[in-house]
Structure 1
Amino acid sequence: MGIIPDSLHYPLVTVIMNQNFSIAEDFLLDDSFLRYCMGTHEQDIQHWEKWIAGNPDKRPAFDRAILLFGIINGQQGRLDVEVKKFRSLLAEHIAKTPVTGKVRNLRWWRAAAAIFLLGAGAATGYHFMGKKARTSATNAAMADVMPGMSKAKLVLGDGTVVQLDSSHTNQLKEKDGTLIDKDNGQLVYDVTRNTSEKIMFNTLSTPRGGEYQLVLPDGSKVWLNAASSLRFPTKFVASDRTVYLTGEAYFEVAPNAQQPFHVELSNGLNITVLGTAFNIMDYDDESTVKTTLVSGKVKVSQETGNSVLLAPAQEAVLNKQQQHIAVNEADIDKTIAWKMGMFEFDDDDLTTIMRQLARWYDVEVKFAGTIPDKHYSGSIRKQSTLSQALRILKTAGIQYTIEGKQITIEIKQ
């Protein structure tokens, strides 16, 4: 969802007059219907709500088309940016299935559904639930939650607090002479005028629903995810470069063999690098700490002296209860998807998915009933509204309500 392709903006509500709309793909070939599925144009929403009310016999194909849109759009990630790509995938689905009527429609729907959601373990034999019609898209939009954005809080060395967002473009100055440029959701530290011998520390913190970028005094780049914090000196003068992280961040460290780079975590883990790209995830509400290496080489060490060396595409996973580090093969695309503006789920349980969404949309999640022992896969754009993000879960029979900043998840068994 999110960004709407130019070809879908105008004209609004231009339905193909000779279209029978007898099967799902008939609806998906209509631009106005796609805008309705995206929920972004009031005219199209009103038109299709009125249309389906007057054509109740079209409801089965109408509902399948809505569901298929969510499945194909979600599975392809940024698919909605390019309508031609959507049309191409639609054509592929049609071409691979029988040509006639109801059989073609049913088989196409099952094929698309199989691509999107995968059940594992106890999910064997799981079937997709039937969907009711969209209630009122207008009412849903009113109860929706907007996605997070570039925003953070910077605490300077003297305790001064500066609120940051992507709209601010100006410069700050630390008392030691360090210049801090604020530009388009990013802080850049310039230490060329820092002549002070005293080391000052700054702390950059993102709230739930926020993220921010940072260029450290040595040129290393940091992407800070939601509900995270990084404490760092305004210049690196010791024999090493040490920063302190809570939450999640992606690092691209400037090489300097004479001054190793360290990331200290609150649980005693220490990550040591010379020059590399890696991701660290260390949230309080997660049962593990993950260090994922994209390139270069890092050492992950515990206070006990136990340590592991990682090669590219490996991750160190610390079980917080057992205090044991396991080295696994990493899914790089999934791990750094948040940095690229996506959520990527691959065989994840529902609570794991909802923890990520809760941090980004700054909401509280409640579960009504027993949480199923099922696992899910799919992609969601971070710029989607909350209801758009949750729509793909509805394809698995997961219903929800949004009341203010609280989501209630109801699982239909």
Structure 2
Amino acid sequence: MDSDIKILVVKYITGQASEKEADWLKAWMKESPENEAYFAELYETWHNTLITGHQINTDKAYAEFLSRTGQTAGPAGSTAAGITQLWRRIAAAAAIVLCISAGFYYFTRLAGNESEFTVVNVIKGSRKQLLLPDGSKVWINAGSTLKYEKDFGQTSRTVYLNGEAYFDIAPGLKKIPFMVKTKDFIIRDIGTIFNIKAYSEMPVFEATVLEGEVSVEGKFNQKAKSAKVFLKRRQVLKIDIGQQSGDVAATVQSKSIEADVPVRIQQLNPETEDQYIGWKDGLLAFHESTFEQIANDIERRYNVQVIFENEDLKDFKYSGSFRSVNDVTTVLEIIKKTTPISYSISGNKIIIKGNN
């Protein structure tokens, strides 16, 4: 990797690059997956190693940077020395801001209760659009909860999600990474539009990237430490948390992670896109989905309870879409035309039966 590019990457991720340098680097990143992966790796290094336990640790951050780029600190006048000087200037400037931020963080977090958070609950049968303090837009699906600290955008940009949400991240604030924390995984944004589906009661986690890139970090193997994968534009990550599958590996950017749960990474096709993000526009879409998966979406969308008279009925598969259908009966009648089922409704309970 050219040393000038290494310096430019560091300047960009720390907000020191000029507009011309930033434009050139963005074009360079688009040239190859390797370039994107290199940028993403250094981006993570900056945010993960500069602060450890809310303590400023510039030496560790710089050592990590050298390790990642395969360099050692060089003598005066050398390229490595130039990087050293640049890093020290960046770290000194960051330390002033981060010391203030860390102090304020400790002050507010000592309370340690829900009063320090803004909590958005979206009941079943509804959806909500939200504008976060940093300008990021969030669409929240039915039966979901989104939580963030009241000083969001000042010391952190972390949201906590139980359910499903579509994120359109505002540009800027590169020094404060945007993160989504779910029950099992942490998603870090690298300038993107993405959808996360992570209902705590459901055994499936999904991350869909529309623009840009995200990293997903968590325990893919119960015996190993946390691992991380990067998802690029128009990729979908599916993790079946509730299943154990032995030797399963997901390969991303020439790296593999060993997992004991089914992990799948696939391209997002135009034909199936609505299945992952159509909900925010009022669309119910399914592609070879099991009736059990469909029932889960129906329960959240229409605030009903679906009961299967026979467990085998859960395995029926269906493909189709419903746009702005306000009546659950209409959805069931359409499904019934191509699926061997019948149903009865009692209050908010829907009982699914098989055709004899």
Give me the TM-score of the superposition, normalised by structure 1: 0.50
Per the alignment, do residues 302 and 401 of structure 1 end up closer, same or farther by CA in structure 2, a change over 3 Å counting?
same
Question: How far did 1:345 drift?
Answer: 0.8
Question: How far did 1:295 drift?
Answer: 0.6
Find out whether 1:337 has 2:278 as its counterpart.
Answer: yes
Aligned partner of residue 159 in structure 2, secondary structure: strand
Find out whether 1:326 has 2:271 as its counterpart.
Answer: no
Which structure has the bigger radius of gyration?
1
Match for residue 244 of structure 1 among 160, 168, 177:
160
Aligned partner of residue 266 in structure 2, secondary structure: strand
Aligned partner of residue 236 in structure 1, secondary structure: coil
Match for residue 291 of structure 2 among 334, 350, 367:
350
For residue 318 of structure 1, what is the amino acid of its counterpart?
I
Match for residue 364 of structure 1 among 305, 308, 331:
305
Per the alignment, do residues 381 and 371 of structure 1 end up closer, same or farther by CA in structure 2, a change over 3 Å counting?
farther
Q: RCO greater where, 1 or 2, for CA within 8 Å and sep 6 or more?
A: 1
Question: How far did 1:369 drift?
Answer: 2.9
For residue 213 of structure 1, what is the amino acid of its counterpart?
Q
Partner of 1:297: 213
For residue 120 of structure 2, what is the amino acid of its counterpart?
L
For residue 336 of structure 1, what is the amino acid of its counterpart?
I
Equivalences, count: 218
Structure 1, residues 113-147: CA drift from partner, whole Å, max 9, x if none?
xxxxxxxxxxxxxxxxxxxxxxxxxxxxxxxxxxx
Aligned partner of residue 222 in structure 1, secondary structure: strand
Partner of 1:393: 335
Question: How far did 1:254 drift?
Answer: 0.7
CA contact (8 A) 1:371 1:411 kept: no
Match for residue 147 of structure 2 among 194, 211, 231:
231
Per the alignment, do residues 237 and 378 of structure 1 end up closer, same or farther by CA in structure 2, a change over 3 Å counting?
closer
CA contact (8 A) 1:381 1:389 kept: no
Question: How far did 1:328 drift?
Answer: 2.0
Match for residue 312 of structure 1 among 233, 245, 253:
233
CA contact (8 A) 1:350 1:371 kept: no
Question: How far did 1:232 drift?
Answer: 0.8
CA contact (8 A) 2:134 2:170 kept: yes
Unaligned runs of 5+ in 2: 1-103, 110-115, 220-224, 245-259
Partner of 2:121: 205
Counterpart Cα distance in 1 of 2:118 and 2:311: 44
Per the alignment, do residues 359 and 315 of structure 1 end up closer, same or farther by CA in structure 2, a change over 3 Å counting?
same
Partner of 1:214: 130
Counterpart Cα distance in 1 of 2:210 and 2:273: 7
Find out whether 1:262 has 2:179 as its counterpart.
Answer: yes
Considering fraction of residues, name the structure with more helix.
2
Per the alignment, do residues 375 and 235 of structure 1 end up closer, same or farther by CA in structure 2, a change over 3 Å counting?
same
| Residue correspondence of structure 1 range 153-164 to structure 2 within 5 A | none
Unaligned runs of 5+ in 1: 1-194
Counterpart Cα distance in 1 of 2:201 and 2:335: 22
Structure 1, residues 128-176: CA drift from partner, whole Å, max 9, x if none?
xxxxxxxxxxxxxxxxxxxxxxxxxxxxxxxxxxxxxxxxxxxxxxxxx
Question: How far did 1:238 drift?
Answer: 4.9
Aligned partner of residue 339 in structure 1, secondary structure: helix
For residue 192 of structure 2, what is the amino acid of its counterpart?
T
Aligned partner of residue 205 in structure 2, secondary structure: strand
Pairwise CA RMSD of aligned residues? 2.2
Counterpart Cα distance in 2 of 1:237 and 1:383: 37
Percent identity over the alignment is 34
